[in-house]
A and B are shown apart, each in its own frame.
Chain A
Amino acid sequence: MKKLGKSALVVLLLLAIVVSGLFAQGAKEAQTGPKGVKPYNIAVIIKATDSDFWQYLLVGANNYAVEHPDLVKVTTYGPPSEADIDQQVSILENVISTNPDGIVIASTSSDATVPALEMAYDKGIKIITVDNRVNTPKVHSFLATDNTYGGSLAAEKMFEYLKKNNIATAGKKIAVVSAMAGVQVLTDRDNGFITRIKQLIPGIEIIPTRYVDNDIIKALSTTEDLITTYGRDLIGIFADNNHSADGVARAITEQNLHNRIIVTAYDSDPEEVAAIKSGAIKAIMVQDPYGMGYKGVDSAVKAIEGATLPAYVDTGVVIVEQHNVNDPASQGILDPFTLKKY
C-alpha cells in the first residue's frame, strides 16, 4: 500500500513537470518568431558532413557571411551521412525552435522534411531549398542543378570524344555506373545521359545500370567486371557521381584503356581531376555547390527584406576537360576551398 502511494506520487510529479513544461514552451513560442533585425540569423543545413561537395556549399555560405558581417550571421548544420534522413529532420526541428530569420536547406528526402518546413514557413521563417526539391509549395525559392540536362551534356561530350578518337559505334555498348539506386538526382543524371546518347548514337546498346553503394572499391570491381565481360564491345562508361567516377577511372588507368573506353562523369574531387589530367576521364560535369551556398544565403537575405524570388533558379554545370582543367576559372569550381575567406 505504501509502495503504491509512493509510485503514484512519482507519477503525479512527473506529470506536473511535463504539463508545466508544455505551458512554459507554449508561452515562449507565442512570444518569439523570427526577429527580422540585422544581422539576420540564417541557418544552413546540408545533407551530410562527410563529403567534399557539401563542405564546398558551406564555404560559399560562410564566405557570404564573411563578406557581409553586418547583414548576416550564418550557422551551419548537417548529419554525418546522407543515409541519416531522420537525423536531418531532427536537426531541422531544432533549428526551427531557435527561430532563425531564414533557413537554407539541402534536404536529403523530398518528403521527410515537409511538415517541419511548412511549420517554419507559417512562422514567418524564409525557406530556401537547394539541390533537392521538396514536395511543398511553402518555400520561397529553389536553387539547383538541372541534373537531367547535366546528364545529357555528359552524353554529348562522350559522343564528341568517341568521334575524336575514331572509335566505331556500330553494334557497340555503353555502360552506366551509378553510385546508388533510388536517389532522384542520380536517376535524373542517368536518364538524361541515356536518353541523349540514344539520340546521338541510334542503335547503341545500354548495359543495365550497375550500382556501387557509393564505394570506390566496388565501382572499381564493377568496372573491371564490365571490361572483362564486354571486352572491345564496351566503348563508353558514364559515372554519375565522384565516387563512382573515381573507381571507373582507376580501372581504366590500371588497364590503360584511355583511348578505347571513353569515360564522362559527374561532380569533382581530387581523384577525378587527376583522371581528367591523365585522360582516364574525358569530361566531368561539375556543379556549383559553392554558388548554391553563396546564392542560397543571398536569396534568404532578399526574401527577408521582402523581395519576391523566382520559384526555381538553375545553378548550372561547368564542363571541365583536359584543355581547361588548369584555368583559374576552373580552379574555383573544382576546389572552392581555394576561395575560402575565413
Chain B
Amino acid sequence: MKLLSNKHRFRIAEGNLLVIVVVLMVILSFATKNFFTANNMRNLVRQTSVNGIIALGMTFVIISGGIDLSVGSVVGVSSIVVSKLLVSGVGILPALLIAVLVSTTLGLLNGWIIHYGKVPPFIATLGMMQAARGIVMLLSNARMIAGLPKSFTAFAQKVIIGFPSLFFVWLVVILITFILTTKTVFGRNIFAYGSNVEAARLSGINTAKVTLSVYAMSGLLSGIAGILMTSRLGNGIPTAGQGYEMDAIASAVVGGASLSGGSGTILGTVLGALLISLIQNGGNLLGINAFILQIIVGVLIVGSVWIDQKRKNVKS
C-alpha cells in the first residue's frame, strides 16, 4: 500500500520536471534560431547520452540508500582497458566484453565491501574512485592511447534513422532499467531496502544480493558509458570521466531521487540528465557567460530538491 502511494508521488515529481523541460525548450526555440533544428536535437541527445547512462546506474544505487562516487573512475578504467585491448589486436567483441566485465567487477567489489565490510558507501566508493583512477594511470602510464581501429570509432559517429547511435544505446538502457525498477521483484526489493534496511531484511529480502547487484549495475553502466565515450573520441583517455560522479548524482537528484534512499525513478533521472544538458546547450547557444551558467546549475540542483521537500511536507 505504501509502495503504491510512493509511486503516485513520483509521477507528480516527474510531471513537474517534464513541464520545466518542455517550457525551457519552448523558450529556447523562440530565443535562438538554431535550437529547434534536427542538428541541434541530435547534438543534445548525443551530449546527454554518456551522463544519461551513468546517471541511471547511479539511480539504482541512490534508491538503495547508497551513493557511488567511483563511476567517473570506472569510466576511465573502461576507456583504457578497451583501448589497450583493441590496440594490441584483440577483436572488438572480446575487447568490449572484457572492459564491461572489469567495470562490473569493480562495481561488484564496491557492493561486497559495503555489504560484508559494513563500510559506508560514501567511503567505500571514495576509496574505489581513488584506486580505480590509480589503475587507469598505471595501465596507461598517464598517456593517451591512440590508434584505435576505425570499425570501433565509427560506431559513435553513426546516425540511424535520424538519431545518433549513442541515443539508441541510452534508449535501450532506459527501457531495461525502467522495467527492472517498475515490473520486477528485484526492483521492488531495492526500493524496500532503501526505505528501511532492517524491515527489508526481516521480510526475507536477500540484502546481500540487493547491495551487490545495485553497485554491479552502476559499474556495468559506467563501463558501457566509458566504451561509448572512447568510441566517440577515438582515443583511450586517462583523465576520462573525471568529475562525472557529480553530474550523475545531480541528474538523479534533480530527477527526484532522494539521497536518504527509497525513492527515485528512471524517467525522473532521464529528465534530470536532459535538463542539465539543456541548460549547458541553451547557455552556449544564447552565449551566456560560462560562470553564470555554472551558478544556474548550482541553484537548479538545490532548488529542485528544496521544492521537492516542500511538496512532500505539505502532503504529510
Residues of A within 8 A of B (CB): 49-52, 55, 80-81, 181, 207-211, 213-217, 220-222, 224-226, 228-229, 231, 243, 246, 250, 254, 269-271, 274, 337
Q: Give per-residue flags for B202-243: 1 if the beta carbon is below 8 A from chain A beta carbons, else 0.
A: 000000000000000000000000000100111101111011
Determine if B281 and A210 form an interchain contact, defined as CB atoms under 8 angstroms apart: no
A269: chain B residues at CB < 8 Å are: 144
Given contacts A80-B133, A215-B242, A254-B157, contact A226 B146 (CB under 8 A): no
Stretch at the interface among B15-23, B33-41, B113-121, B260-268: B33-41
| Whole-angstrom CA separation of A207 from B288 in the bound complex | 11
Q: B284 in the interface, Cβ–Cβ < 8 Å?
A: yes
A209: chain B residues at CB < 8 Å are: 290
A271's partner among B146, B238, B242, B291 (CB-CB below 8 A) is B146
Q: B137 in the interface, Cβ–Cβ < 8 Å?
A: yes
Determine if B143 and A228 form an interchain contact, defined as CB atoms under 8 angstroms apart: no
11 residue pairs of the A-B complex, CB under 8 angstroms, read A52-B142, A52-B143, A52-B144, A55-B142, A216-B233, A217-B232, A222-B284, A224-B47, A225-B284, A228-B40, A270-B147
| Whole-angstrom CA separation of A257 from B150 in the bound complex | 20
| Chain A nearest Cβ from B134, distance in angstroms | 8
Q: B285 in the interface, Cβ–Cβ < 8 Å?
A: yes
Given contacts A50-B137, A225-B281, contact A250 B234 (CB under 8 A): yes
| Whole-angstrom CA separation of A209 from B284 in the bound complex | 10
Determine if B34 and A231 form an interchain contact, defined as CB atoms under 8 angstroms apart: yes
Please name 20 further chain A to chain B contacts, defined as beta carbons within 8 Å, in addition to the given A50-B137, A243-B239, sorted by A numbering: A50-B142, A50-B238, A55-B142, A80-B137, A213-B243, A217-B229, A217-B232, A217-B233, A221-B281, A224-B47, A225-B281, A228-B40, A228-B43, A228-B285, A229-B285, A229-B287, A231-B34, A246-B235, A271-B235, A274-B234
Given contacts A217-B233, A221-B281, A271-B234, contact A51 B287 (CB under 8 A): no
Given contacts A80-B137, A254-B157, A271-B235, contact A215 B284 (CB under 8 A): no
Which residues, 10 to 28 on B, are CB-close (under 8 Å) to A?
none
Q: B141 in the interface, Cβ–Cβ < 8 Å?
A: yes
Please report whether the interface of chain A is mostly helix, strand, loop or mixed according to DSSP. Answer: helix
B50: chain A residues at CB < 8 Å are: 217
Name which of A211, A221, A269, A270 has the most chain B CB atoms within 10 A of its CB.
A221
Determine if A224 and B43 form an interchain contact, defined as CB atoms under 8 angstroms apart: yes
B141: chain A residues at CB < 8 Å are: 55
Q: B32 in the interface, Cβ–Cβ < 8 Å?
A: yes
A225: chain B residues at CB < 8 Å are: 40, 43, 280-281, 284-285
A224: chain B residues at CB < 8 Å are: 43, 47
Residue of B nearest to A218 (CB): B280
Residues of B within 8 A of A (CB): 32, 34, 37, 39-40, 43, 47, 50, 133-134, 137, 141-144, 146-147, 157, 229, 232-235, 237-240, 242-243, 280-281, 284-285, 287, 289-291
Given contacts A213-B243, A225-B43, A229-B32, contact A207 B137 (CB under 8 A): no
Determine if A216 and B237 form an interchain contact, defined as CB atoms under 8 angstroms apart: yes
A246's partner among B32, B233, B291 (CB-CB below 8 A) is B233
| Whole-angstrom CA separation of A168 from B280 in the bound complex | 30
Residue of A nearest to B239 (CB): A50
Determine if A210 and B40 form an interchain contact, defined as CB atoms under 8 angstroms apart: no
Residue of A nearest to B145 (CB): A270
B142: chain A residues at CB < 8 Å are: 49-52, 55
B233: chain A residues at CB < 8 Å are: 216-217, 220, 246, 250, 271
A217: chain B residues at CB < 8 Å are: 50, 229, 232-233
Determine if B290 and A181 form an interchain contact, defined as CB atoms under 8 angstroms apart: yes
| Whole-angstrom CA separation of A250 from B40 in the bound complex | 16
Determine if A214 and B239 form an interchain contact, defined as CB atoms under 8 angstroms apart: yes
Determine if B229 and A51 form an interchain contact, defined as CB atoms under 8 angstroms apart: no
Residue of A nearest to B281 (CB): A225
| Whole-angstrom CA separation of A80 from B138 in the bound complex | 12
Determine if A215 and B281 form an interchain contact, defined as CB atoms under 8 angstroms apart: no
A271: chain B residues at CB < 8 Å are: 144, 146, 233-235
Given contacts A50-B142, A208-B287, A217-B50, contact A270 B235 (CB under 8 A): yes
B240: chain A residues at CB < 8 Å are: 216
| Whole-angstrom CA separation of A213 from B157 in the bound complex | 23
Determine if A229 and B239 form an interchain contact, defined as CB atoms under 8 angstroms apart: no
Residue of A nearest to B277 (CB): A221
B291: chain A residues at CB < 8 Å are: 181
Given contacts A50-B137, A50-B239, contact A211 B143 (CB under 8 A): no
| Whole-angstrom CA separation of A50 from B137 in the bound complex | 7
Q: 8 smallest A-B Cβ distances: which pairs?
A: A270-B146, A225-B284, A221-B47, A224-B43, A228-B34, A211-B290, A229-B285, A228-B40
B238: chain A residues at CB < 8 Å are: 50
Name which of A80, A81, A213, A217 has the most chain B CB atoms within 10 A of its CB.
A217
Given contacts A52-B143, A222-B284, contact A215 B290 (CB under 8 A): no
A246: chain B residues at CB < 8 Å are: 233, 235
| Whole-angstrom CA separation of A338 from B117 in the bound complex | 46
A270: chain B residues at CB < 8 Å are: 144, 146-147, 235
Name which of A213, A228, A250, A270 has the most chain B CB atoms within 10 A of its CB.
A228
Determine if B146 and A274 form an interchain contact, defined as CB atoms under 8 angstroms apart: yes
B285: chain A residues at CB < 8 Å are: 225, 228-229
| Whole-angstrom CA separation of A313 from B234 in the bound complex | 37
| Chain A nearest Cβ from B96, distance in angstroms | 19
| Whole-angstrom CA separation of A228 from B283 in the bound complex | 12
Determine if A55 and B143 form an interchain contact, defined as CB atoms under 8 angstroms apart: yes
| Chain B nearest Cβ from A314, distance in angstroms | 27
A254: chain B residues at CB < 8 Å are: 157
| Whole-angstrom CA separation of A208 from B291 in the bound complex | 11
B144: chain A residues at CB < 8 Å are: 52, 269-271
B39: chain A residues at CB < 8 Å are: 228
A50: chain B residues at CB < 8 Å are: 137, 142, 238-239
| Chain B nearest Cβ from A21, distance in angstroms | 30
